[in-house]
Amino acid sequence: MRTWTPKEEALLERLRSSGTPPAEIAERIGRSSSAISQHAMGALGLPGLRAPKRFWAASDTARLHDLFPTTSIADIAEELDRTPQSVRDKAKNEGLYKRDYPR
C-alpha cells in the first residue's frame, strides 16, 4: 500500500472542492477511484467521491427497448453514453433479458 504524500492530499482536496469528476481526480493523482474515495472520506473527512446519479430519460429508456433485442450491451452503452452495468441494470428493471431474444 502506497502512502499518501501531502502533495497528493492537497491536490485531492483542491480537485474535490472544485467539482472535478472522480475519474479525473483518480487519473490526475494516479490512484484508483476507490482509493481516492476511501482516503477522502477516511483520512481527510471529505464527502464521498461518487459521480452524480444520472437518471434515465424516457427517450433513453425507449431507445433501450428498441435496441435491446438485436444489439449488444456494450453497443447500447456506447450509443446511450452509459456504462454497460448501467444498461444491464436498467434492462433488468425494465424486464428485458437477452435470453428472451434468441439469435
Averaged pLDDT in 10-residue chunks for the chain of 103 residues: 86 83 85 80 65 83 94 93 90 89 72
Q: Residue 12: what pLDDT?
A: 84
Cell numbers 444520472 correspond to what residue? 54
Burial 61-92 (b: 16+ CB within 10 A, else e): eebbeebbeebebeebbeebebeeebbbebbe
Q: Residue 58: what pLDDT?
A: 94
Q: Residue 88: what pLDDT?
A: 93
pTM confidence score: 0.53
